[in-house]
Amino acid sequence: AWSEQFRKAYKQNKMKDYVFKNYEYQLEHYILEEIGDIKLKNVKPLNCQNVLNALEGKSASLIHKVRIQMNEMFEKAVENKLINDNPAKGITEPKGTKNTRRALTAREEAAFLAAAKKHNHGLLFMFMWGCGCRPSEAENICGRDIHTIDGRLYLHIRGTKTKAADRFVPIPEEVAEMLPEQLDPFLPICRTSE
User: What are the pLDDT digits (tens) for 165-191?
Assistant: 788 999 999 999 999 988 899 999 986
> Mean pLDDT for the chain?
89
Distances (CA, A) of 9 to 4, 53, 66, 105, 161: 9, 28, 19, 48, 22
pLDDT of residue 192: 61
SS (H, E, C) 15-68: CCHHHHHHHHHHHHHHHHHHHCCCCHHHCCHHHHHHHHHCCCCCEHHHHHHHHH
Taking the model in full, what pTM does it have?
Answer: 0.56
The H or E element spanning position 168 is strand 166-170
Please determine, for residue 140, whether its predicted confidence score (pLDDT) is greater than 70.
yes
Which of 6-10, 127-131, 142-146, 161-165 shows the lowest mean pLDDT across its residues? 161-165
C-alpha 191/C-alpha 189 separation (Å) is 6
Q: Which stretch, 133-137, 151-155, 156-160, has highest mean pLDDT?
A: 151-155
For residue 7, what pLDDT band results from cuts at 50, 70 and 90? confident
Roughly how many angstroms between the first and final C-alpha of the chain, as a whole number? 39
Q: For 26-42, what is the mean pLDDT?
A: 92
More confident residue, 8 or 87: 87
Which of 20-29, 123-132, 143-152 shows the lowest mean pLDDT across its residues? 20-29
Q: For 84-92, what is the mean pLDDT?
A: 95
- Amino acid (1-letter code) at residue 28: E
For residue 193, what pLDDT band results from cuts at 50, 70 and 90? low
C-alpha 36/C-alpha 32 separation (Å) is 4
Helix, coil or strand: residue 150: coil
pLDDT of residue 53: 95
CB burial of 88-98 (b: ≥16 within 10 Å; e: otherwise) equals: beebebbebee
Which of 56-65, 73-82, 96-105, 170-179 shows the lowest mean pLDDT across its residues? 96-105
Please determine, for residue 194, whether its predicted confidence score (pLDDT) is greater than 60.
no
Helix 122-131 × helix 106-118 angle, to 10°? 140
